[in-house]
Structure 1
Amino acid sequence: MRKFAALALVLLLAGCSLGSKKEVPQPTPSPDLSGKPPAIAVLNGPFASGPVRAPEKGALVGAWIKPDELTHVGRLAAVDSLETDLGRRLSIVNTYRRFEQMVGTSSDKEFLSQGATLMVSWATGDNRSILDGEHDDLIRKQAKAIRKIKKPVLLRMRWEMDRPNLRATMWSGNDYIAAWKYVRNIFKQERANNVSWVWCPTAEGFIRGDAPGFYPGDDQVDWTCVDVYAGENFQPIGQLMGPFLQFAAQHPKPIIIGEFGVAKAWGSAARAAWLRDAERTFKANPQIKALAYFESDPEGNPATKQFQLTGDKLAFKAFHALVKDPYFNP
């Protein structure tokens, strides 16, 4: 009887131990970030990149910096703060616009006057309603607004169009391609010739295999682009965007990394290592001519989707080393 009681106690304790292991998440092993990444995007150019010219050597550096307030003063303060910490101006300032929000705000003009190139991430609407002509006036208004600033602009028309949660408004790759051509034709009619057209899906879309189906064609695209994050899946950036780089190497366009970031969930040391590996990866792929960090902690997001580097000493130091490298100051 005592033996059975002792056995029951052992089994009970073992069950408690197993239960506690389920409640405490185990850390994900860090990938090896020490090796030199393979150069997959092997095209060296020169590239016909539209009005925003790709540098012959090296790559331009920019960012999206989430302001405390979405106002003229707030936007300027956010960019100025990061530039002060970095000790240099950003070559590219990423800015997001809803379909009805026009380019050419006071802050846009200020960034342009400081020598930055605007990258406008424009959230166009339902592709089929665009093709039905429901938004022609709005599209023409935006084309005129961009033409009026008289400076070259990178335009990401409905970036990340391949995301599954956008399928209700994107409909299909064919619908997106048709809408892209429709919008671009209106810009041509309005003589908005200062636009470099940037096609920018997600790295996940190339891993799934559906992103290429949204490509409008080499005659329609000036820059290929990808958004890539070490968020919930902590892998080296070269591995995360490897399928995209293989695709891009088949198209004679310069590459811009439209958004990239490494989440706070992985800790300072791992974030710093990931950024150092990102620097090696960018330099090993000569087709990559520009990149923009996503310097933001979106409200309501978990730590796996918080990417701000400011305040993280080790991670920021790694990013600072990247932006001070002569390769990223062409």
Structure 2
Amino acid sequence: MASMGAVLLTLTLTGADGGGPTGQTGQAEAPRRSFTAPMLGLPSGAEYRCTVSEILEPSCGVWWGGSPHEGDVAQLEEAAGRRMDIVYTWRGIDQAQVPGERERRLVAEGRFVHTNIEARRFTRPGHPDVSYRSILAGEFDGVLRDQARAVAALEAPYFLTFDHEADANKRYNKRGTPQEFTRAWRHIVDLYEEEGADNAIWVWNVTGWRDNLDRLPGLWPGNEYVDWISWEAYNMTGCDLMPGWDHVDSFEDALRPAYEWIQNEGPKHGIDPAKPVMIGEMGTTFIGARETLEWYADVPRVLPEYERIRAVKVWDSKVSEGCDFRLGVNRYAQQGFEMAGRDPYVNMPDRVRRLVEYAHRD
């Protein structure tokens, strides 16, 4: 597991010659590398300061990303009018090729990748469930070690989740008990560490729904096994899979319950509220032309009010006929998301990306 933010890579540039990265939190000092203003795309005499931790937590804004419909990142980026910082991908625990060709290409093109490793057999028709007990018994250890070695070989930071939404009704106590989930999580992280995948950044993802919050303590793997905390921010008005959803939740309405629970109740259950937060999925069904546009366009206004949120990913997919979140089929959603993506708060400067790139070369 990537160290828990123990090292901060701090970039301060002053004057034509630039400066150098310096940083520390507590006892650890950051790796040092010489930077100049032109190297990082800054004009001569510019001043800029930002920090990016080993687990990719930025201090100067929010990473912007998404889960593209049918894996088509080009289509999502065309609708968004910009490149995604993070792309969400989905794999099974029985797949040795993690990252696969697609993920490696995304990394090579300069994007971060977040892969959910589902407790399901993706190599079999229907993707049948896998029990946590079988994972703990070592049935998938060989595959997991292959995955870990492949991640390590990337020599680039890589976000990983095991079995997202373990608190959801369709998963909770279905593949095993909460205790077995946490033990399986720790088992997987330990295997990755044994194989040298120090660039793996572990993202604990739950639904974040108010009715599921009391399930979270039992699903927490422990601070030393989690780098980022993640949940979702949806409005599902009119969704045929949610017949009781007859109201409209704003983006802020959707993210607030879990945020407040982590900050206020999390420490009572051993959850560190200082960990960075990723809104792993977000989006709204169609709620009217102006309302849909404004739902997305309002996201950047909300984010600075919740300082632990450091990444957001849109869910650009269709769940069912009556529950469609694809930006490309709703011009109001597309326009709102495009407007949001132009906000400086969710546009990490290229010079910050280069800081990450250069730091991980050392």
TM-score by length of 2: 0.70
Does the 8 A contact of 1:228 with 1:261 survive in 2? yes
Matched, 1:104 2:132: no
Matched, 1:117 2:135: no
Matched, 1:216 2:221: yes
Q: Which residue of 1 aligns with 2:313?
A: 292
Does the 8 A contact of 2:76 with 2:327 survive in 1? no
Q: Which residue of 2 aligns with 1:280?
A: 301
* Distance (Å, rounded) in 2 between the aligned partners of 1:203 and 1:109: 30
Q: Which residue of 2 aligns with 1:93?
A: 87
Q: How does 1:28-43 map to 2 (within 5 A)?
A: none
Instruction: Give the CA deviation at 1:84.
Output: 3.0
Q: Which residue of 1 aligns with 2:250?
A: 236
Query: Which of 254, 262, 283 is the aligned partner of 1:248?
Result: 262
Q: How does 1:2-151 map to 2 (within 5 A)?
A: 51-67=54-70, 75=71, 78-101=72-95, 102-124=97-119, 125-151=130-156
Does the 8 A contact of 1:198 with 1:221 survive in 2? yes
Does the 8 A contact of 2:76 with 2:316 survive in 1? no
Instruction: Give the CA deviation at 1:212.
Output: 3.1
Instruction: Give the CA deviation at 1:52.
Output: 3.6
Query: Which of 292, 314, 317 is the aligned partner of 1:271?
Result: 292
* Distance (Å, rounded) in 1 between the aligned partners of 2:143 and 2:174: 17
* Distance (Å, rounded) in 2 between the aligned partners of 1:203 and 1:85: 27
Instruction: Give the CA deviation at 1:214.
Output: 0.7
Structure possessing the higher radius of gyration over alpha carbons = 1
Q: Which residue of 1 aligns with 2:281?
A: 259
SS at match of 2:328: coil
- Amino acid in structure 2 at the alignment position of 1:289: R
Once the two structures are superposed, residues 302-330 of structure 1 have per-residue CA deviations (whole angstroms, 9 ceiling, x without a partner) of 42x21111232222111111111111012
Q: Which moved more, 1:232-241 or 1:179-188?
A: 232-241
Q: Which residue of 2 aligns with 1:188?
A: 193
SS at match of 2:91: strand
**Whose RCO is larger (CA < 8 A, sep 6+)?**
1
- Amino acid in structure 1 at the alignment position of 2:332: L
- Amino acid in structure 2 at the alignment position of 1:243: P
Query: Which of 311, 317, 327 is the aligned partner of 2:335?
Result: 317
**Compared CA separation, residues 139 and 215, structure 1 to 2 (3 A):** same
- Amino acid in structure 2 at the alignment position of 1:110: R
User: Structure 1: 5+ residue runs without aligned partners?
Assistant: 1-45, 68-74
Once the two structures are superposed, residues 232-265 of structure 1 have per-residue CA deviations (whole angstroms, 9 ceiling, x without a partner) of 433123222322101333522100011111113x
Q: Which has the higher strand share?
A: 2
- Amino acid in structure 2 at the alignment position of 1:254: P
Does the 8 A contact of 2:99 with 2:147 survive in 1? no
Over the aligned positions, Cα root-mean-square deviation in angstroms equals 2.3
* Distance (Å, rounded) in 2 between the aligned partners of 1:131 and 1:146: 21
User: Structure 2: 5+ residue runs without aligned partners?
Assistant: 1-7, 10-24, 26-51, 120-129, 237-241, 268-272, 349-362
Once the two structures are superposed, residues 43-99 of structure 1 have per-residue CA deviations (whole angstroms, 9 ceiling, x without a partner) of xxx8999744111121000011113xxxxxxx4xx2122223433211001111122
- Amino acid in structure 2 at the alignment position of 1:62: G
* Distance (Å, rounded) in 2 between the aligned partners of 1:187 and 1:321: 39
Does the 8 A contact of 1:206 with 1:243 survive in 2? no
* Distance (Å, rounded) in 2 between the aligned partners of 1:156 and 1:205: 21
TM-score by length of 1: 0.76
* Distance (Å, rounded) in 2 between the aligned partners of 1:207 and 1:282: 23
Q: Which moved more, 1:55-64 or 1:96-105?
A: 96-105
Q: Which residue of 2 aligns with 1:27?
A: none
Q: Which moved more, 1:171-180 or 1:47-56?
A: 47-56
Q: How many residues align?
A: 273
**Compared CA separation, residues 244 and 212, structure 1 to 2 (3 A):** farther
Q: Which moved more, 1:273-282 or 1:122-131?
A: 273-282
